[in-house]
Structure 1
Amino acid sequence: MADTHLPKRAKVLPDELWRAVEHADLVVHAGDWVDVELLDELENRSRRLLACYGNNDHGELRTRLPEVGTAEVDGLRIAVVHETGQAHGRERRCEERFAGHDVLVFGHSHIPWDTTADTGLRLLNPGSPTDRRRQPHCTYMTADVVDGRLDEVRLHRLPARGNVA
């Protein structure tokens, strides 16, 4: 997930997303939390958390979170960062900056994204579960890691709710 912007855009994360968090072996958040209480809650409710701060995160969030987070899952090397710049040239820029990684999860645009760079780096933006902006739906992603590779990446559309922009 990325760009939750709590409690600015919504008061809470959708129940569907919390169920996904509680079943995941690794939860990834690509920044723009806004409120440290969500970080505390995700740390308590997830088995393992990989996260970074975003441009709207300040104070304690910047103290507790890195600009770039990394993890390895069954040999799959994952990085998470909030901003990757404009869409044009993104794959080239990211394959240079994140050489040695297999997957890069990023946020900032609130626009779901799934591409693969020439080097094989998979770039994923889950969109936002709470602030769809100009997108038709609020979204998040799930994926499976099988034998050290990313398998079955799924973009989940969330139903419209009263407290979701």
Structure 2
Amino acid sequence: MKLLLTTDTHVPRRARLLPEQLLSAVDAADVVFHAGDWVDEATLDLLLARSRQLVAVHGNNDGPALRARLPEVARAEVAGVRFAVVHETGGARGREERCERQFADTDVLVFGHSHIPWDTTSAGGLRLLNPGSPTDRRRQPDCTYMTATAQGGALTDVVLHRLPQRGRG
């Protein structure tokens, strides 16, 4: 199963549209994970229409309409891998241990909020993935998203994709 992981799209605040490279990856994915901060319902509707399966949550910048449509925590099992999705995990210090306690029945936790790509594994084996943001790089060199493969109870081929910056030649 081909997976796409994204978060913090912030449309239309940070970008008017999602990058075409991200949308092509959505089209190619079997499952799309979005860890919140959509900002507008049109982006949610777009990903619902384009994705085969969407596993998504709301973020701290999402208003009442998005909060009514999306949970704070989402869970899914894909090809034998148990996923949880949440927007915020708190500060980086102690993140693995804190999340391992909170998501003890999970193999992979997808999260966002910081716009900083993150890929670590806790002592107990919980994989934590933050794909960064495809529209708002903040202090990062590039806007990003992730792809991965889930099969036979394992997550493999986790790749951080860097998007070209607008206005560069």
TM class, shorter-length: over 0.9
| Residue 61 (structure 1) aligns with | 66
d(CA) in 1 for partners of 2:69 and 2:140? 30
Q: Which 4+ residue blocks in structure 1 deviate beyond 2 angstroms?
A: none
- The offset of 1:146, in angstroms, is 2.1
- Within 5 A, what are the aligned runs for 1:106-121? 106-121=111-126
Aligned partner of 2:3 in structure 1 is none
Other-structure match for 2:106: 101
Look up the SS of the partner of 2:120 in the other structure. strand
TM value normalised by structure 1: 0.97
Q: For 2:62, what is the secondary structure of its paired residue? A: coil
TM-score for the superposition, normalised by structure 2? 0.95
Equivalent residue, structure 1, for 2:16: 11
Structure-2 residue corresponding to 1:70: 75
Q: Distance in 2 between matches of 1:118 and 1:152?
A: 21
Structure-to-structure mapping, 1:1-165, within 5 angstroms: 1-162=6-167
Q: Percent identity?
A: 67
Contiguous gaps of at least 5 residues in structure 2: 1-5
Q: CA RMSD in A?
A: 0.6
- Once residues 31 and 122 of structure 2 are traced to their aligned partners in structure 1, the CA distance between those partners, rounded to angstroms, is 23
Structure 1 unaligned runs (5+)? none
2:143/2:162 contact within 8 Å kept: yes
SS at match of 2:85: strand
